[in-house]
A and B are shown apart, each in its own frame.
Chain A
Amino acid sequence: MNPVVIALCVGMLTVAALLALLRVAKGPTMLDRVIALDVIVAIVVIGLCVEAAANRHATTLPVIVVLALVGFVGSVSVARYASKESAAERGRR
């Protein structure tokens, strides 16, 4: 794989990760942060893919599987928690 391609990919992923981190920091709501963290997980997965394609090895493939799984479970559970919290708040109002 051409080193220029790898450098371009790493650069774009770095900028994307920084922008997503900015959204995590700014919020304003929990769901915004969940979406941004999902994007960060996707960026890490793509970064591992870039590394695996550049060095032609398959050692990181299990890590990619686990990351895809954990990201899904995390965002779904936070979404459930957010809706439950709001129902309790609605009951109090």
Chain B
Amino acid sequence: MDWTTIGTVVGSAALLLGCLLTLVAAIGLLRLSDVLARMHTTAKPQVLGVVLSLVAVGIALQRTTDIATLVAIAAFQLLTVPVAAHMVGRAAYRTGQVDASVLDHDDLAEKLAEEERSAG
């Protein structure tokens, strides 16, 4: 086994895994019941799936400038996807689209009630 073969195998595996994660995310998006559950199933493959396919591109290209761009994209994705998911989850909670009956414990409701008591 030389390095080219190993690179091809690792790159192919990363691409396949990234695509598989995206497929799992789409299935979860369709099957799960509620905004928060859907958000959770899509946010994680959005990070790991994209990062894995970027790794595959980096292995295929093997040029320093391209790899720098890919690292920048991966870092940006790692920063923005959790922020976007958090914003969507916050909007879902504030607009009352979260089903309280599926929650085990609602810390935020207690906190908000406490703040309302101290304000009023």
Per the bound structure, the CA–CA distance linking A72 and B82 in Å amounts to 10
Chain B residue with Cβ nearest A34: B88
Q: Which B residues are in CB contact (< 8 Å) with A54?
A: 60
A15 with B95: in contact, given A35-B42, A39-B42 (CB under 8 Å)?
A: no
Per the bound structure, the CA–CA distance linking A68 and B50 in Å amounts to 10
- The SS class assigned to the A binding surface is helix
Contact A23 B30 (CB under 8 A): yes
User: How many residues in B have their beta carbons less than 8 Å from beta carbons of A?
Assistant: 51
Per the bound structure, the CA–CA distance linking A75 and B58 in Å amounts to 28
**B96 contacts partner chain A, Cβ-Cβ < 8 Å:** yes
Query: Which residues 14-69 of A sit at the B interface, judged by CB distance below 8 A?
Result: 15-17, 19-20, 22-23, 29, 31-32, 34-36, 38-39, 42-43, 45-46, 49-50, 52-54, 56-58, 61, 64-65, 68-69
Instruction: Count how many pairs of residues, one from A and one from B, have CB atoms less than 8 Å apart in the complex.
Output: 167
Q: Which B residues are in CB contact (< 8 Å) with A35?
A: 29, 35, 38-39, 42, 88
Which of B25, B49, B87 is most buried by chain A, counting CB atoms within 10 A of its CB? B87
Q: Which A residues are in CB contact (< 8 Å) with B91?
A: 31, 79-80, 82-83, 86
Contact B66 A31 (CB under 8 A): no
Per the bound structure, the CA–CA distance linking A22 and B29 in Å amounts to 10
Which of B22, B27, B73, B77 is most buried by chain A, counting CB atoms within 10 A of its CB? B22
- Interface of A toward B, CB cutoff 8 Å: 1-2, 5, 8-9, 12-13, 15-17, 19-20, 22-23, 29, 31-32, 34-36, 38-39, 42-43, 45-46, 49-50, 52-54, 56-58, 61, 64-65, 68-69, 71-72, 75-76, 79-80, 82-83, 85-87
Q: Other CB < 8 Å A-B pairs besides A53-B56, A65-B69, 11 of them?
A: A1-B60, A16-B19, A23-B38, A35-B29, A39-B22, A39-B25, A52-B61, A65-B76, A68-B50, A75-B84, A76-B84
- Interface of B toward A, CB cutoff 8 Å: 8, 11-12, 15-16, 18-20, 22-23, 25-27, 29-30, 35, 38-39, 42, 45-46, 49-50, 53-54, 56-57, 59-61, 63, 66, 69-70, 72-73, 76-77, 80-81, 83-84, 87-88, 90-92, 94-97
